[in-house]
């Protein structure tokens, strides 16, 4: 899941100041982890510890209350009753990459992705977005080719993955829904040549840059199986010890190499 976290950090400074190009600094003084990272770590911890997803999300979210959560999630995070709020925001998709890495069958991945989403995002589109991303990570991890991945995700989830980045980029703006960002993140991966290129293409679309790059980065890590060392080092340097410890535990837990 370090690929998703690196994407989040790289995209963090461009969320409100979009760049419509792949030629941009990967890291700057403002680069930071956001809610995408915190909740991705929470999902990984839930998997490893056999915990309820909602409990883990609340645990880690409350540790980092200023990470940039959406208003509805923030209300949920500190509410007495942890009931889902029928969201179809891309929060369910941004945090789900650990599911694609952790389970051994596509059926299990889809089921767990649905469970991880439903803790908050129990709208059908919220669940679909999480399942599509987790499935993409799983298929990439298993060595399935890009065209087969495109066909599966299109057939299973109904996303249009035929657009090119050049068609999307000029008019694309901030859209924090699953349906308005998950397909675009997957397209950025499909058009890429390596991990860094995937994240650069994701950020270049504009919109919700950190979340799109987080989604793309998780898939790209699974597919390319190599993240440049300078990206790994900087990403790890920007994580606090408790979050980094979960990342390392998850690496051992899954046997992931990068």
Q: What is the pLDDT of residues 96-109, one digit of tens each?
A: 999 999 999 999 99
Rounded mean pLDDT of 130-156?
98
Q: Using CA atoms, how far apart are residues 135 and 140, in angstroms rounded to an integer?
A: 8
Per the structure, the complete domain to which residue 128 belongs is given by 2-254
| pLDDT at residue number 81 | 82
**What's 114's domain CATH number?**
1.10.4080.10
Q: Which stretches within the chain are classed as H helix?
A: 2-11, 35-49, 53-63, 71-77, 91-94, 97-102, 106-118, 124-141, 146-157, 165-168, 182-190, 195-204, 209-224, 229-237, 241-254
Res 20 pLDDT > 90: yes
Band the pLDDT of 82: cuts 50, 70, 90: confident
Give percent of the chain with pLDDT exceeding 70.
Answer: 100
Band the pLDDT of 157: cuts 50, 70, 90: very high
| pLDDT at residue number 23 | 96
- Nearest of 14, 22, 37, 17 to residue 250 by alpha carbon: 37
Res 140 pLDDT > 90: yes
Q: What is the count of structural domains for the chain?
A: 1
Res 16 pLDDT > 90: no
Give percent of the chain with pLDDT exceeding 90.
Answer: 96
118-120-124 Cα angle (round to 5): 50
Res 159 pLDDT > 90: yes
Is the Cβ–Cβ distance between 157 and 121 less than 8 Å? no
- Across the chain, mean pLDDT equals 96
| pLDDT at residue number 80 | 85
Rounded mean pLDDT of 28-50?
97
Rounded mean pLDDT of 182-207?
98
| Residue 257 Cα distances to 3, 101, 193, 224, angstroms | 11, 11, 19, 10
Q: Using CA atoms, how far apart are residues 9 and 211, in angstroms rounded to an integer?
A: 9
| pLDDT at residue number 257 | 82
Is the Cβ–Cβ distance between 213 and 11 less than 8 Å? yes
pTM above 0.85, yes or no: yes
Res 203 pLDDT > 90: yes
């Amino acid at each position: 899941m370090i690929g998703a976290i690196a994407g989040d950090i790289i995209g963090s400074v461009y969320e409100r100041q979009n760049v419509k190009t792949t030629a941009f600094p990967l890291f700057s003084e403002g680069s930071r982890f956001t809610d995408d990272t915190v909740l991705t770590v929470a999902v990984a911890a839930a998997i490893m510890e056999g915990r309820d997803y909602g409990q883990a999300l609340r645990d880690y979210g409350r540790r980092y209350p200023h990470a940039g959560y959406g208003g509805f999630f923030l209300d949920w995070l500190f509410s007495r009753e942890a009931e889902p709020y029928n969201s179809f925001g891309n929060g369910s998709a941004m945090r789900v990459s650990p599911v694609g890495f952790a389970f051994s069958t596509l059926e299990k991945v889809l089921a767990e992705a649905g469970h991880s989403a439903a803790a908050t995002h129990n709208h059908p589109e919220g669940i679909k977005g999480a399942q599509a991303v987790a499935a993409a990570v799983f298929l990439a991890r298993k060595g399935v080719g890009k065209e087969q991945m495109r066909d599966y995700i299109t057939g299973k989830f109904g996303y249009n993955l035929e657009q090119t980045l050049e068609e999307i980029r000029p008019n694309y703006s901030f859209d924090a829904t699953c349906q308005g960002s998950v397909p675009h993140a997957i397209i950025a991966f499909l058009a890429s040549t390596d991990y860094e290129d995937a994240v650069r293409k994701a950020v270049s679309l504009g919109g919700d840059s950190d979340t799109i790059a987080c989604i793309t980065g998780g898939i790209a890590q699974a597919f390319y199986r190599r993240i440049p060392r300078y990206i790994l080092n900087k990403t790890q340097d920007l994580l606090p010890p408790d979050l980094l410890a979960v990342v390392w535990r998850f690496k051992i837990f899954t046997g992931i190499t990068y």
